[in-house]
Amino acid sequence: MTHAIAIRGLHYRAGRSFEIPNLDLSVPTGSIYGFLGPNGSGKTTTIRLVLGLLRPRAGDIRVLDRPMPHDAPRVLARVGYVPEQPHLDPTLTVREVLRFQGAFYPTWDHAWAEELLVAFDLDEHRLFGKLSKGQKGKVMMLLALAQRPDLLVLDEPTDGLDPVVRRDMLAALLDYVSEHGATVFISSHLVHELERMCDWIGVMDQGRLVTELPMERFKRGIKRLVVSGAPPIGDPTPFSVLSREPNGASSETWLVRGWEPEMQAFFETGGASLQRVIDLDLEEGFVELLRTFRTPRREEVR
Amino acid sequence: MFDHIDPRSPTPLYAQIASRLRLAVSAGELRPGDALPSVRRLASQLRVNPATVVQAYRDLEAEGFLDMRQGTGTFVRDVPVGRRTSERVYQATLLVRQLIANASRLGVSLDELHSAILEEMGAKAS
């Protein structure tokens, strides 16, 4: 499998408070990779490292098979970036913004930029600074798409925007991906949106990548189990137990990872019984994963 | 047609899309020769990964429901009546299983469920 983004052994530190101690991350070429994590977990920092805007203290970052930040100019010509905060000159009109940005990219698609202007219902004569938040978001997405990139790096592109705007932006994004087969690396707090379109999921917390899996495996593997006559804590299990909580005297709720249906046999042979297997959606799985990652192992991780 | 696609369900999205199309073909909502939306259009309309749509279409092609013609599009095939009937029966079974599971979760007995079904069906028939 080739990777549009490959990070190996990355170490980054900003001041005393924030550190990414040792990050490995792989975004398969052609995937739509959802990058999840609470605020302050290191998502935006990782994105800036990927784009060569920050320098790591150690480790390798390869983007579209070239080393970053060393080959930044060649790489960035093929990367569309939507930052968390729009960074364009507010005194330019939408038309001027397009003309300015388009000049940087030999691959700029004039015809499609015009189509997107209409599809996004943007007024080319308005000043960028006078646009609503949603209109600004659409301009940013338009700019990233019209350069016809091989990789799109989107940092919370639709967070805080209304549902109609989000829908238009994501429809345009997926339209482009269908046609061009580009890779998408997208961070967002809108987990249900990611759940629809991503085929890979990476979860950051406290500067660490807690998990990185194909979406289906992530969702299939994380379950809540209701177990009665539970075996003692510490018995080896074929899956990993993230937490166990008693429900009254007779049963316990387990949160497990790496679950497969055949593992039911584990309970029967041990004299326990599995009463229910409860599916979690991406958001619940994500929240539970963070909760268990943080509480019991904090000392061990330090 | 895809109003009930639920990304939060543990059933993968490609399987949900395939299942919805299989039923549409079996129930006659889609007729032989009908063209399906392109992968690009459906992915962007549902805001799902294009690979998800491709996988649903491929699975249905392998089952003989669809015909993917390079360059021209994806079309509904003429599925034998028996196959369509068995697909509807299968869907009916799934619906009933779901109903029974919900009833037992809510503490409704099978007898109560059964008489409610008969009553509703009677009301519908008259």
Mutation to test the B interface, candidates A116, A170, A197, most B Cβ within 10 Å: A197
**Lowest mean pLDDT across A22-36, A232-246, B15-29, B111-125:** A232-246
3-state SS class at A21:
strand
**Per-residue pLDDT reduced to its tens digit, B37-59:** 999 999 999 999 999 999 999 99
> Peptide bond before A69: cis, by omega within 30 degrees of 0?
yes
For residue A113, how many other CB atoms are within 10 A of its CB?
Answer: 18
Q: What is the pLDDT of residue A67?
A: 96
Find, in chain B, the residue whose alpha carbon is nearest to that of A278.
B10
Q: What is the pLDDT of residue A301?
A: 38
Among A30, A192, A220, the residue with its CB nearest the CB of B7 is: A192
CA-to-CA distance for B46 and A83, rounded, in angstroms?
A: 25
CA-to-CA distance for A203 and A153, rounded, in angstroms?
A: 16
Query: What region does A121 belong to: left with phi over 0, alpha with psi -120 to 50, or beta?
Result: left
Strand (E) or helix (H) holding B105: helix B81-106
Record the tokens describing residue A67, joined without a space.
């080393």
Q: Which residue has the tokens 């800036």?
A: A48
Q: What is the pLDDT of residue A297?
A: 46
pTM for the full predicted model: 0.88
CA-to-CA distance for B5 and B15, rounded, in angstroms?
A: 10
CA-to-CA distance for B94 and B22, rounded, in angstroms?
A: 14
CA-to-CA distance for B19 and B6, rounded, in angstroms?
A: 12
Q: What is the pLDDT of residue B73?
A: 92
Nearest to A29 by CA among A169, A180, A131: A180
Mutation to test the A interface, candidates B17, B47, B52, B54, most A Cβ within 10 Å: B47
Q: Is the pLDDT of residue A294 over 90?
A: no
Q: Which long-range contacts (CB under 8 A, 24 or more apart) does B70-74 make?
A: B73/B35, B73/B36, B73/B38, B74/B35, B74/B36, B74/B38
Q: Which residue has the tokens 């580009």?
A: A182
- Sign for the pseudo-dihedral over CA of A149, A84, A188, A170: negative
Q: Is the pLDDT of residue A302 over 50?
A: no
Q: Is the pLDDT of residue A300 over 50?
A: no
Record the tokens describing residue A252, joined without a space.
């316990």
**Per-residue pLDDT reduced to its tens digit, B59-92:** 999 999 999 998 889 999 999 999 999 999 999 9
**Per-residue pLDDT reduced to its tens digit, A2-29:** 999 999 999 999 888 889 999 999 999 9
Mean pLDDT of B2-8: 87
What is the CA B114 to chain-centroid distance, rounded?
25
Q: In what order do the strands lie in the sheet with A3-14?
A: A18-28, A3-14, A58-63, A66-68
Q: Which residue has the tokens 């899996």?
A: A213
Q: What is the pLDDT of residue A288?
A: 86
Contact A84, A155 (CB under 8 A): yes
**Phi and psi dihedrals of B69, rounded to 5?**
-105, 120
Q: What is residue A93's DSSP assignment?
A: B
Contact B59, B18 (CB under 8 A): yes
Please determine, for the modelled complex, whether the ipTM score is greater than 0.85. Answer: no
**Is B10 within 8 Å of A170 when comparing Cβ atoms?**
no
Residue B15 at interface with chain A, using a CB cutoff of 8 Å: no
**Do β-strands B73-76 and A273-279 pair in parallel, antiparallel, or remain unpaired?**
unpaired
Mean pLDDT of A52-59: 94
Mutation to test the A interface, candidates B5, B13, B49, B52, most A Cβ within 10 Å: B49
What's the number of CA atoms in the CB half-sphere (13 Å) around residue A40?
3
Q: Is the pLDDT of residue A298 over 60?
A: no
Residues of B in contact with A196 (CB under 8 A): 7, 13, 46-49
3-state SS class at A105:
coil
**Per-residue pLDDT reduced to its tens digit, A218-269:** 888 889 999 888 777 777 888 888 888 888 778 889 989 888 888 888 888 7
User: What band does A92 get if pLDDT is binned at 50, 70 and 90?
Assistant: very high
Q: What is the pLDDT of residue B126?
A: 64
Q: Is the pLDDT of residue A132 over 90?
A: yes
Q: What is the pLDDT of residue B25?
A: 95
What's the number of CA atoms in the CB half-sphere (13 Å) around residue A223?
22
Q: Is the pLDDT of residue B30 over 80?
A: yes
**Is B8 within 8 Å of A193 when comparing Cβ atoms?**
no
3-state SS class at A256:
strand
CA-to-CA distance for B14 and B56, rounded, in angstroms?
A: 5
Residues of B in contact with A172 (CB under 8 A): 44
User: Among residues of chain A, what percentage have pLDDT more than 90?
Assistant: 67
Contact A190, A158 (CB under 8 A): yes
Among A167, A216, A282, the residue with its CB nearest the CB of B47 is: A167
Residue B48 at interface with chain A, using a CB cutoff of 8 Å: yes
User: What band does B34 get if pLDDT is binned at 50, 70 and 90?
Assistant: very high
**Is B49 within 8 Å of A32 when comparing Cβ atoms?**
yes
**Do β-strands A18-28 and A3-14 pair in parallel, antiparallel, or remain unpaired?**
antiparallel
Higher pLDDT, A294 or B86: B86
User: What band does B113 get if pLDDT is binned at 50, 70 and 90?
Assistant: very high
Mean pLDDT of A184-195: 93
Strand (E) or helix (H) holding B64: none
Amino acid at A202: G
Q: Is the pLDDT of residue A299 over 60?
A: no
**Do β-strands A183-187 and A32-36 pair in parallel, antiparallel, or remain unpaired?**
parallel
Higher pLDDT, B13 or A299: B13
User: What band does A296 get if pLDDT is binned at 50, 70 and 90?
Assistant: low
Q: Radius of gyration over alpha carbons of chain A, in Å?
A: 22
Q: Which residue has the tokens 């805080």?
A: A160
**Lowest mean pLDDT across A203-212, A265-274, A276-285, B20-29:** A265-274
